[in-house]
Amino acid sequence: GHDPEPRERTYRYPDATTVTQVIARGRPHLRQCYETATRRVGAPTAQRVRMRVHIAPAGRVSDVEIEGAQLPGMAECLERTASRWSFPASRRGAEAPLSLVFVPGELAQSGS
């Protein structure tokens, strides 16, 4: 039997489930950015943050766009944190939009 399937598996887009898992693992670290920034300011305020993570074909993060992180140093920390994530390689790369709501004193885990 001749197998027509190419040996190396390169998908056109990264698998959405895997992307979601990488982001889920990274969320507590994003939360730490919020908590550090909150401590620095001394007055806890809720923050609504929109992020767009650009994933290069090799799986590295090529760019991170952030809107709404208003605490000093928070946007930089979120960007640094997300840019360390590593995703599965794909032919096209991808963009992953994220909506985050940080509320003072809430646990990093939301849902069960």
Q: For 6-47, write each residue's pLDDT tens digit.
A: 445 555 667 788 899 999 999 999 999 999 999 999 888 999
pLDDT at 51: 97
Helix residue spans in the chain (DSSP H): 16-41, 74-83
Q: Which residues of 52-88 are buried (b: 16+ CB within 10 A; e: fewer)?
A: ebbbebebebeebebeebebeebbebbbebbeebebb
What's the pTM value of the predicted model, to 2 decimals?
Answer: 0.81
Q: Per-residue pLDDT averaged across 58-76, rounded? A: 96
pLDDT at 108: 46
Q: For 76-103, write each residue's pLDDT tens digit.
A: 999 999 999 999 898 889 999 999 999 9
pLDDT at 15: 79
Q: Per-residue pLDDT averaged across 54-77, rounded? A: 96
